[in-house]
Amino acid sequence: MLRSIYSKFILGYILFGLIGFITVAIFSQKMTYDYLVRQNSDKLYDEAMLMAATYEDNNFFFTDINAAASRDISMVANFINARIWVTDRSGRIVLDSDSGSLNNINITGFDPASDPAHYRIGTYYGMFSEEMLSVEAPINYNYAPIGYILIHYPMRSVVSSTNEILNIVYLSAVIIFLLALIILVVFTFYVYIPLRDITFAAREYAAGHLDYKIRTINRHDEVSYLGDTLNYMASELEDMEKYKRDNNLDNIVFIPYQAKEDLVYSLNAADVHFVVNAKGIKGVSVPSKIYGVMAAAKPVLGILEEGTEARMIIEESGCGKVADPGDYNAITETIQYYIDNKDSLELVDMGNAGRSYLEAHLTKGTSLDKYAEVLSTL
């Protein structure tokens, strides 16, 4: 049980955690990074366009940059934690928010129209030693650009914000993984432990210890029902053994569970096989042991309701005799018949008739042909 169910469930839990964490790490990192780039570039572009609109249609701006304008641009740059440049159309920096350190410096290769996107990521024509998120907004005069507002935002800030969000995501993933332990705990106490006890009980019953009781089953669920059913079965078998002992029925032998590979010996050890179904489950259950008995060419004593599949097979094939459940007189007479004819050819013929019927009507190939015939009519 430990190797077949519980360890697999734990392995599934661990795989859930690993795959979940890897999935979150891969997809969340990229999605968060892309989202922050878009969000910051949009905000920076809106700010650049707003500033550019302030100086539109003012051709004297580049020759009349006063201290107030420089101060305003520096305040905006500090507020958004960015670097702001004002350039003329050729790319000469006429105003740098960083105390004017790059004033009158030309940007080599400056060409705002070279990238259709409203933002760039990089060192901006080699002007920075680190990657920046840069946006460009034209300053127009008579509907033509005479200069540009350039805002540069350090990508390290984007990466830092991404990591902060990812830390929250990772923490949430860990919390979900730990909360999933509740499922493991519930499985352990409500499924695994009861099934382990039921499996142990089944081994005890197979060894003939029918007095063993499953004590951990005390809930109203499917596992509890299974345990109660096994307890009832063991109790019934124990009562039968007690009845045998009390009445000195030495001709009745109870044997432990036999391995599947020994089934051929069990089937051939009997002169006659009981095939029994309780009254009232007609159409619900078919005792499948009848097929193994017929394959072994052994006669059948069927205690089955009229109209059930197993009874119709016995009657049609002639592989045995039947009686109704609860009709103890008929059952007794049928048992007596088999006792009286124990070594007769009639019983041999019954067994052979069952084998012949099985080969003619109930083989795998025949059954598949019948399924195909039915399906073809749909």
- Per-residue pLDDT at 99 exceeds 70: yes
Is pLDDT larger for residue 67 or for residue 325? Answer: 325
Confidence of residue 1 (pLDDT cuts 50, 70, 90): very low
Share of the chain above pLDDT 70, in %: 94
Confidence of residue 68 (pLDDT cuts 50, 70, 90): low
User: What does the pLDDT look like over 113-126, one tens digit per residue?
Assistant: 777 788 999 999 99
Structure tokens at 312: 């119709």
Tell me which DSSP letter residue 260 carries. Answer: G
Gap between the Cα atoms of 51 and 44, Å rounded: 11
Cβ neighbour number for residue 113 with a 10 Å cutoff: 8
Structure tokens at 76: 């905006």
- Per-residue pLDDT at 216 exceeds 70: no
Q: With 0-12 CB in 10 A as exposed, 13-18 as middle and 19+ as buried, what is 123?
A: middle
Structure tokens at 265: 């010996």
Arithmetic mean of pLDDT, 237-266: 85
Maximum Cα interatomic distance, the chain, rounded to a whole number of Å:
129
Decide: 55 and 61 in contact? Cβ < 8 Å: yes
Decide: 72 and 54 in contact? Cβ < 8 Å: no
pTM above threshold 0.85: no
Decide: 88 and 141 in contact? Cβ < 8 Å: no
In single-letter form, the type of residue at position 244 comes to K
Q: Where are the beta strands (DSSP E) in the chain?
A: 83-88, 93-96, 119-122, 132-141, 144-154, 273-276, 300-303, 320-323
Gap between the Cα atoms of 186 and 192, Å rounded: 9
Is pLDDT larger for residue 373 or for residue 220? Answer: 373
Decide: 130 and 154 in contact? Cβ < 8 Å: yes
Gap between the Cα atoms of 62 and 85, Å rounded: 12
Arithmetic mean of pLDDT, 56-83: 74
Arithmetic mean of pLDDT, 334-340: 93
Tell me which DSSP letter residue 106 carries. Answer: B
CA 193 centroid distance within chain: 22
Please name each of the domains of the chain with its CATH number.
2-176 (3.30.450.20), 185-246 (no CATH), 260-376 (3.40.50.2000)
Confidence of residue 2 (pLDDT cuts 50, 70, 90): very low
User: What does the pLDDT look like over 143-165, one tens digit per residue?
Assistant: 888 889 999 999 999 999 999 99
Arithmetic mean of pLDDT, 208-214: 82
pLDDT of residue 341: 92
CA 97 centroid distance within chain: 56
3-state secondary structure of 119: strand
Mean pLDDT of the chain: 86
**138 strand-pairing partners:** 148
Decide: 274 and 301 in contact? Cβ < 8 Å: yes
Could you give the C-alpha distances from 221 to 228, 229, 329, in angstroms and in order? 10, 12, 40
Structure tokens at 163: 């990591």
Share of the chain above pLDDT 90, in %: 37
Gap between the Cα atoms of 360 and 96, Å rounded: 98
Helical axes 345-361 vs 309-317, angle rounded to 10°: 120
Q: How many residues does the chain have?
A: 378
**134 strand-pairing partners:** 120, 152
- Per-residue pLDDT at 329 exceeds 60: yes
pLDDT of residue 347: 93
Gap between the Cα atoms of 86 and 147, Å rounded: 7
pLDDT of residue 177: 87
**Range with lowest mean pLDDT among 52-61, 76-85, 177-186, 250-259:** 52-61
Tell me which DSSP letter residue 2 carries. Answer: I
Going across the sheet that includes 144-154, the strands are 93-96, 83-88, 144-154, 132-141, 119-122
pLDDT of residue 40: 94
